[in-house]
Chain A
Amino acid sequence: GESVGLHLPTLSVQEGDNSIINCAYSNSASDYFIWYKQESGKGPQFIIDIRSNMDKRQGQRVTVLLNKTVKHLSLQIAATQPGDSAVYFCAEITGNNNAGNMLTFGGGTRLMVKP
């Protein structure tokens, strides 16, 4: 299940189960969102993105859902594997057209996959 502790919230799932990681974003004007995976000691790695004119996008084993009404993103990982264990961040584009696209990151969720 999902829990919130002193540090990153952690989601523990059994290998083979589906995982759902949630994210609330802050800026209703944001029009582009990315999910990143970060393994210990490494930089964020792109997983999947979605634009605000879509509410769902699918990749290989991953699906991102966007609900603009409540400013909520979710990342679904099918058949979770031990290699999926990492911290997952959602990020939104908040820059204006003149300043380019700085990413604003959410707080992150640690996914732990039990064999």
Chain B
Amino acid sequence: AQTVTQSQPEMSVQEAETVTLSCTYDTSESDYYLFWYKQPPSRQMILVIRQEAYKQQNATENRFSVNFQKAAKSFSLKISDSQLGDAAMYFCAYRSYSGAGSYQLTFGKGTKLSVIP
């Protein structure tokens, strides 16, 4: 079974600065997807960024980028130019095949990010 570990329960960053959230995972598969989701107090999980394991190039979405190290099974999220609206819980997730052509997500425990004005 796949496991996802986020070792930082809480992080804080000064507004406009850069912060990196860590994630490691365990799998025996060679092809998979990894995701970072943001969960604000409204509780809705919002997709931040996605990485396909067979792509060596790190994914980037505006101020969000990842450092994907497949051999080390590491998938960290970097947020540049942090904004107050970035404050939320961030969850790392691994997508695995569950049968019948569909997939399911396994989540880490999350990192609570605070942004200091």
Partners in one complex: no
B contact set with A: CB distance below 8 Å: none
A contact set with B: CB distance below 8 Å: none
